[in-house]
Structure 1
């Protein structure tokens, strides 16, 4: 399998960019941790699947699922670090999916006001394609996504594709939604890689999946390098997330990537109404999403109203006063960010949700 490294500049450490390694990456871990005092944060599934790997290091397990992504879990981990004698010279490694990496990055940033460093072994496709890259580390509050957090990039992210073999198909599908999103934002060739493929043909082709991962991470790395703390261009990465997060909050039925897939279709429909996207392009987006086995709309049997979703959007961290940044595709490989009143957004998505 090919292995490729992508660097993301860190303004606070210009001499040491964040390193993302994609392919056969896991063998690098021992070298990266040489001379450090690592403590691993992981979850029970990873501990069971990789006992030899986790057993090499002192480790802490957190629970499974989105409900664990809270300040309560952060507090529990910090207490365990204190019990283990961890200090500012300790080094924290998150081995797991996006929930593990988010908790790890946040803990590493706040425990004793920050430890010597941290890195990730990203084991889910969602984590490899998105969650572990770029330095956003946050937890939820009352079901609202990532409302509390920090910007702090890891020293390294190891994206070993062989670790994806243990993932359920549903988790793999959820990760592909973030790759489709990146293609829509700024890489038409990446989006087109999904067209004509099915979930089975794509995931059964390691070389194609590798190319998609490299392109996805490469695009995100370029965006983060230009705007690490999301003052402008990085907000484009929120395409599909405004309503995706609202769907997660209001239904508790969908995985993050599944909700983002629906959010992409909402944004595409709104872009057609706004005159930014053609109906044919909207149809191509929906076909690509369906081809990966992802949902394009909310299941009609789920009891959720448009007013509930709008109320969740109003609490989104992207809102300022009565306005919100909403990202719309303006083509297949182009997107724009529009700041609009919440009332305008509600009118724009009428009959779409």
Structure 2
């Protein structure tokens, strides 16, 4: 097991990679019975291993990541007579941890909470870093807070029940971490891509641990995304627009799939600015394809532009865009929206 920490403004958060749901009592506050929030699938698979406590269940999928779900959970917490001494335990993937972190942060102006992260995507991204929130009118994470969980348990064994598409979704964010911060990690993924897809224990443990190390270090420097943390958004401005469009294509949904396409676009934008070479772009697309992720930008430019105009990172007519200076190094640059839109029109149909 490896433990990483983020010393946030409100509390110290510990991320335990390789810890187990079966040992959750080690991490829970003594003498407190947690209120557990999970989704239907995770409850069916692992409910017998949950600690004692009331279990609140939500649906699955991006469509339930809404204020209506938050309101429902808040009402259930009131019905349970929860108070400021309560502890909320979210067990699930990124949608569960996003919702639970938000609910815990606003219930009675904030109660203690922690996560057991059950998907690869959540273990390397959503559950780490203290971003909690929900979508609004299908636009990603428009309502939320920064607030660190007391702990995150990344149980590697729980990944064995993931569908193959969800493994690839998580690997997309791991590739992102290599591209923005760690060329050696990128090379390791290339050399061990089949082991990663097969969930080889040692390979996945290293990939999760390295990703958590990168993200926790970045968040420690910039918890509220005022500077350094912006580089974690590599591939996400255009990726989030694609993710919204993909909601109408059930066979193409998934945050990682959208980020894969967003990273391809960002790599091409970086090449256009003379920062990386065509060989670098080819290396990126080759790896993403080998991980069963999409790389073809077959979307309408006007649709991408319309949705990207509502991106959270927008500041008037400008936005912060993350470029690659080289594989393993980024540059965050404030650009005009018009410049990004011209690029989008040049690569999308």
Once the two structures are superposed, residues 293-316 of structure 1 have per-residue CA deviations (whole angstroms, 9 ceiling, x without a partner) of: 111124x4xxx4211111111100
Shift of 1:27: 3.7
Give the Cα–Cα distance (whole angstroms) in 2 for the partners of residues 24 and 104 of structure 1. Answer: 20
Shift of 1:203: 3.0
| Contact 1:96–1:124 (CA under 8 A) maintained in structure 2 | yes
The TM-score normalised by the length of structure 2 is 0.95
Q: Which moved more, 1:249-258 or 1:69-78?
A: 249-258
Give the Cα–Cα distance (whole angstroms) in 2 for the partners of residues 134 and 55 of structure 1. Answer: 25
Partner of residue 26, structure 1: 21
Give the Cα–Cα distance (whole angstroms) in 2 for the partners of residues 35 and 283 of structure 1. Answer: 55
Give the secondary structure class of the aligned counterpart of 1:293.
coil
Aligned pairs for 1:1-353 within 5 A: 3-13=1-11, 17-33=12-28, 34-54=30-50, 56-115=52-111, 117-199=112-194, 202-252=197-247, 253=249, 254-298=253-297, 300=298, 304-353=299-348
Give the secondary structure class of the aligned counterpart of 2:50.
helix
Give the secondary structure class of the aligned counterpart of 1:350.
helix
Distance 1:267 1:78, change over 3 A: same
| Contact 1:197–1:291 (CA under 8 A) maintained in structure 2 | no
Once the two structures are superposed, residues 55-114 of structure 1 have per-residue CA deviations (whole angstroms, 9 ceiling, x without a partner) of: 732110011100000111000000011111111111001000000000000000001111
Question: Which consecutive residues of structure 1, in runs of 5 or more, have no partner in the other structure?
Answer: none
| Contact 2:39–2:59 (CA under 8 A) maintained in structure 1 | yes
Question: Which consecutive residues of structure 2, in runs of 5 or more, have no partner in the other structure?
Answer: none
- Equivalenced residue count is 343
Give the Cα–Cα distance (whole angstroms) in 1 for the partners of residues 227 and 47 of structure 2. Answer: 42
Give the secondary structure class of the aligned counterpart of 1:327.
strand
Once the two structures are superposed, residues 109-155 of structure 1 have per-residue CA deviations (whole angstroms, 9 ceiling, x without a partner) of: 0011111x100000000000100000000100011000000000000
Give the secondary structure class of the aligned counterpart of 2:225.
coil
| Contact 1:270–1:352 (CA under 8 A) maintained in structure 2 | no
| Contact 2:189–2:196 (CA under 8 A) maintained in structure 1 | no
Give the secondary structure class of the aligned counterpart of 2:60.
coil
Give the Cα–Cα distance (whole angstroms) in 2 for the partners of residues 326 and 339 of structure 1. Answer: 6
Q: Which moved more, 1:202-211 or 1:180-189?
A: 202-211
Once the two structures are superposed, residues 278-336 of structure 1 have per-residue CA deviations (whole angstroms, 9 ceiling, x without a partner) of: 111111111111111111124x4xxx421111111110000010111111111110011
Give the Cα–Cα distance (whole angstroms) in 1 for the partners of residues 238 and 101 of structure 2. Answer: 25
The CA RMSD over aligned residues, in Å, is: 1.3
| Contact 1:202–1:208 (CA under 8 A) maintained in structure 2 | no
| Contact 1:326–1:340 (CA under 8 A) maintained in structure 2 | yes
The TM-score normalised by the length of structure 1 is 0.94
Shift of 1:54: 3.3
Give the secondary structure class of the aligned counterpart of 2:189.
coil
Give the secondary structure class of the aligned counterpart of 1:82.
helix
Once the two structures are superposed, residues 17-54 of structure 1 have per-residue CA deviations (whole angstroms, 9 ceiling, x without a partner) of: 21101114324311222322310000010110012123
Give the Cα–Cα distance (whole angstroms) in 1 for the partners of residues 22 and 15 of structure 2. Answer: 14
